[in-house]
Structure 1
């Protein structure tokens, strides 16, 4: 691990913020590192309200989108709500369709089949709309690059409204309205919404035409918070507001489908991290293993017996997904070793029978192992399909753009992308991709980094600090859990490895005369020797609450330790 201690903000700025907020230096420093420089900034950060949300009509084409939907309702047209099969897409489809159905019956949903249709808007989907007399399609979390598809739909008399958050290409599709804050000529103040977030802005705009306020839309925010967590978008600005209020809905009164997914969770309050690791994988498992429709049915159904059945099916899909993920990761790691590719700058692996639904997860597992930009291919019809994952600060989308001559199509973000290729072009692509990564990646980026906010002493840690840190939630990109460094600590004498393979580490750490803290380090079991015999070491950790037998204590979660 590379330890990167953030530079400390200007001392005068720290003092000014301390005085304005009556807080200590540690909290003032953490806030400044997150761009919070004044009393007003802090108020918005610690006390977000729904009033902080922007006017949806500031988004380019929002007026056109609303007008077209209202015309469709007036003319009794059939509306098809179309979205991708991942968490962002299925939650967005569930959100927009259930809102529209609350006052208009002629609404149906469509999730493309991952295997027959692939990612995004499909010709099969458009033909389905044509055969079933849909004259308006609202596309969510996809469509910004579907120029030919939109033209094809137009020839059939079908209009499109696109709600996307991916980067547009040089040309934007000729749709009735294109809602995407990442368009260069869109002046919407917040650019980092996920697909479901853009869908929420659409229903917020529609609600304003029906004399509804944003408060009337709060019950839909469990879906938005789930998408924000799963899509790993920055938890700043509007996303922070939507995530905070969405988490409140998840913890107090979630829709029946989400309630069924979390019924066995023992925690009193779920965090964004819990949404990422408990709710999101299950919703994703439907599209990965069977079909994304299962997720939409679960998230839009209110009949309890139906919901229980859907949730049970999704649990089965998730168990299958885990088994496949394990097996394919093992095969991919063997392939890298057998081909003597451990020392490359990138990973590109292919096997024709790998399950298309889990190759994205496998790519992430390979990044954990080798920490370099990674692409996993499998056979999909006549072509090969792949999922790509990157390492921190390396833009894999740009890398694919540089190798585009070998690809059929591709799309995605800085850290995750998908693509298709002809099998005969795979080796040429693999070579070009490796050369581009080798030429452009900084060597430091091939070692995982721990970004440390601040060096502190154990004497600085107390219940008041923990209370304030909890108010920094929800955590996520650009507002990560604060990470601290304390130097020259020692274990009190009984370090212990935990887990079936001794993979985890438990210590009780002290610094000079401090009281000391219990610590747990997941995946750090091999580092036990550093802590033996009361030898001094440096510790990087986050501060958390530990509840046990009705007692609450402060616990440190170790991120790394070095002699």
Structure 2
């Protein structure tokens, strides 16, 4: 594990900002590191305003998209809202469907079957639209590479509006409108929207075009916040604004579907973006992984709490199945790596035709945690092989796949996560080529897990006020990660021990020295192996974030250890 300390912030800017805001210089330094180096920027950062959202018509093709939808409404056409089966796709479909249905009845939802149709726009979905006399499809979180399928739809008299955020290929589909901030010819100021975010901008444009009140969009922000968190997009710019206000909706005006999920969990307080990522998102995802994504859309669009509870109970069962399945497949994949003696490779590429397609992305993430290298997990999908790819910090797996494209039928995704299909006959050739590409392009530092440390922090600087202000920097996520601090040469005050069933975790109380009046409890999950570092009065360095621990009704500040090393 390597520790990387961020460069110190500009001292003059830090002192000036600390003075203007009346805060600790340690906190001001964190803000300056994040580009928040002036009072006006700090005001926007701590109080994200919906007034700072960009004009949706700055996005290429937005005017054409709005015109086509309003024409469909005027002509009484049937509209199909089509989306991917993951969290971003199902929240997008729930948002767009309920928004359009709020003023127009002829709107239906469609989520492709992960197993029968695969990722993205499908011929089966287009045939469904044609058979049901639908003349406009709005595709969300997919479609940017569906060249042939959009042409197929056009031949059948069906128009497409694409709302996507994935990287385009060399050719843009021949749709009525292709909304994607990552288009090279799109000058939209913010490039990092998720699919649901692009869908929200389309709704915002329709509201503006009709001179309706923006407030009618507020109830949908919880869906956008959920997609922002689940899709691991940067929580900066517009995403930060949408996530901030979406979390308020989740906590204050909880929709029936979210309430039904939360009610299954006892004693859950105010939800953060982390809760959305680890509590709500996996359950929404489980529907598409284990059964069908429409179950998630039904939950998210339900307005009856009893009905929502029924949907949530079904999805909870799917989620438990998902957990059991991904656990067993991970063990099988680890065995496969050992049996094939592939521990020393630069990549992990594994395949079994019987693995459940719905969980291979999770398994890829688990294998990446174990071997920390670019990873692909393949399974059989019809007469093809399908894979989920995951990467490590700093390495662009999408670019690596582009260099293997001669063996791939289709692929798409992001820098750190992608999906692909190929012919079974090309599997070994692809595996060899992917290993060669990664070997030639990955740098040594990418192969060692990293703890990114924001700043050194003396223990005496940690106070309840410090923590309160720190928490106002939320929502945390890519681009605005929860701050990680380092304090050097601390000691355990004598309470340190390994805890947990297998003593995998480490619980200590740290101070500058054993007689210091400033000491903090600290918990290090999966750090039990470092227990010998804290014995016999040894001095050690800690990397940690701050959180609150609640025990028997008493709340206290706690250090959440990320790592320890000898001083």
What range is the shorter-chain TM-score in? over 0.9
Counterpart for residue 519 of structure 1:
522
Counterpart for residue 272 of structure 1:
273
| Counterpart contact for 1:537–1:561, Cα < 8 Å | yes
Counterpart for residue 211 of structure 2:
211
Q: Equivalent residue of 2:306, what SS?
A: helix
Q: CA deviation at 1:514?
A: 4.3
How far apart, in 2, do the equivalents of 1:450 and 1:267 lie? 29
Q: Equivalent residue of 2:534, what SS?
A: helix
Counterpart for residue 178 of structure 1:
178
Q: Equivalent residue of 1:207, what SS?
A: helix
Gapped regions of structure 1 (runs ≥ 5): none
How far apart, in 2, do the equivalents of 1:469 and 1:304 lie? 36
How far apart, in 2, do the equivalents of 1:121 and 1:539 lie? 48
How far apart, in 1, do the equivalents of 2:501 and 2:252 lie? 36
Matched, 1:224 2:224: yes
| Counterpart contact for 1:489–1:536, Cα < 8 Å | yes
How large is the RMSD of aligned CA atoms in angstroms?
1.0
For 1:194-343, what aligned pairs fall within 5 Å after superposition?
194-265=194-265, 266-343=267-344
Counterpart for residue 499 of structure 1:
500
Gapped regions of structure 2 (runs ≥ 5): none
How far apart, in 1, do the equivalents of 2:79 and 2:15 lie? 56
Counterpart for residue 122 of structure 1:
122
Q: CA deviation at 1:199?
A: 0.5
Q: CA deviation at 1:505?
A: 1.1
Farther-moved stretch of structure 1 (368-377 vs 50-59): 50-59
How far apart, in 1, do the equivalents of 2:523 and 2:421 lie? 42
Q: Equivalent residue of 2:37, what SS?
A: coil
Show structure 1 runs of 4+ deviating over 4 A.
Answer: none
1:141-184 deviations in Å (ceiling 9; x for gaps) = 00011111111100000000000000111111110011111111
Farther-moved stretch of structure 1 (368-377 vs 208-217): 208-217
| Counterpart contact for 1:219–1:254, Cα < 8 Å | no
Q: CA deviation at 1:523?
A: 1.1
Q: Equivalent residue of 2:469, what SS?
A: helix
How far apart, in 2, do the equivalents of 1:464 and 1:221 lie? 30
Counterpart for residue 451 of structure 1:
452
| Counterpart contact for 1:458–1:514, Cα < 8 Å | no
How far apart, in 2, do the equivalents of 1:234 and 1:514 lie? 39
Q: Equivalent residue of 1:534, what SS?
A: coil
1:55-99 deviations in Å (ceiling 9; x for gaps) = 111111111111100000010000000000000000000000000
How far apart, in 1, do the equivalents of 2:4 and 2:400 lie? 25
For 1:395-434, what aligned pairs fall within 5 Å after superposition?
395-434=396-435
Aligned length, in residue pairs:
563
Matched, 1:31 2:34: no
| Counterpart contact for 2:24–2:466, Cα < 8 Å | no
TM-score (norm 2): 0.98
How far apart, in 2, do the equivalents of 1:455 and 1:209 lie? 50
Counterpart for residue 529 of structure 1:
532
1:357-404 deviations in Å (ceiling 9; x for gaps) = 000000000000000000000001111000000000100000000000
Farther-moved stretch of structure 1 (215-224 vs 226-235): 215-224
